[in-house]
Amino acid sequence: MRGVKRYPQMKQQTLAMAADQDNGFEHSRKPTRREEFLRTMETIVPWAALCQVIEPHYPKAGNGRPPIGLERMLRIHFLQHWFNLADLACEEALYDSASLRRFVGIDLGRERVPDATTLLKFRKLLHEHKLGEALFAKVGQQLQERGFKVNTGTIVDATIIAAPSSTKNADKARDPDMHQTRKGQQWYFGMKLHIGVDSQSGLAHSAVVTAANVHDKHPLPDLLHGNERRVYGDSAYASQKTLIAS
């Protein structure tokens, strides 16, 4: 179609990718729930439209090392949200899981998985340019056009996205957008992702990123779309009794 920019990420297959995709001998194999979910997201999420939102801010190829494809980084970013994967855990999961590599378009026969630092930089780029809200608005618009509806129940949750404690910003100082926090008996340094998820479809409709030490309850108003009859959350939201249904 004229005027629509494509974001290709698949090249001619190597033996490594062919092996990932060849299940011809596994006659009794049943697709996992994760594989079914990823197939659905492949068709539902408007990848090209989301890339157009990010592209003006994404690094361009120059004399140095070329940047990783934008759609690939976006797909990895979504995987982190869907499966609650910190940067290092996501890197390892991509090496470990053929289904995740197929979804992202990584062929280990010719390339490595983006490392945890690269994933962190991409998330910071989205945060610095406040692109998270624009991405979710675009997803919501596309879902409504396809007949998907946001229902009257929202599940709220938060997850810590850990980063190396040595992470510095452009001024070689500890990044002010990150902070240290404790969960249970373990300390973490990084950021925290707060999401609002439709209680029936399981689709995320809102997201807020804060420093890791921000309490889960504070971004709650920004996670609601306004038409909720029920809001579900764990004990971290207990003080918001007018909003949370047990």
Tell which wins on pLDDT, 220 or 239: 220
Angle between helices 131-145 and 47-54 (to 10 degrees): 160
Q: For 42-61, what is the mean pLDDT?
A: 90
Name the band, by pLDDT with cuts 50, 70 and 90, for residue 13: low
Look up tokens 């889960």; give the residue. 216
The pTM assigned to this predicted structure is 0.62
* pLDDT tops 60 at residue 1: no
Q: 85: helix, coil or strand?
A: coil
Query: How many CB atoms neighbour CB 178 within 10 A?
Result: 24
Q: For 1-26, what is the mean pLDDT?
A: 53
Q: How far, in Å, CA of 209 to CA of 207, rounded?
A: 7
Residue-wise pLDDT tens digits, 119-155? 988 988 988 888 877 787 777 777 667 766 666 677 7
Contact, 240 vs 220, CB < 8 A?
A: yes
Backbone phi, then psi, for 190, in 5-degree steps? 155, -140
Contact, 194 vs 223, CB < 8 A?
A: yes
What is the pLDDT of the chain when averaged over all its residues?
78
Residue-wise pLDDT tens digits, 146-200? 766 666 677 777 877 777 766 666 666 777 778 888 877 788 888 887 888 777 6
* Per-residue confidence (pLDDT) for residue 7, from 0 to 100: 54
* Per-residue confidence (pLDDT) for residue 167, from 0 to 100: 64
Name the band, by pLDDT with cuts 50, 70 and 90, for residue 17: low
Dmax over CA atoms of the chain, in Å, equals: 56
Residue-wise pLDDT tens digits, 68-117? 999 999 999 988 878 878 888 899 999 999 999 999 999 999 899 999 99
Question: Which range scores top for mean pLDDT: 13-22, 27-36, 54-63, 173-182?
Answer: 54-63
* pLDDT tops 60 at residue 9: no
Q: How far, in Å, CA of 197 to CA of 222, rounded?
A: 12
- Give 188's contacts (C-beta < 8 A, 6+ positions apart): 160, 162, 180, 181, 182, 212
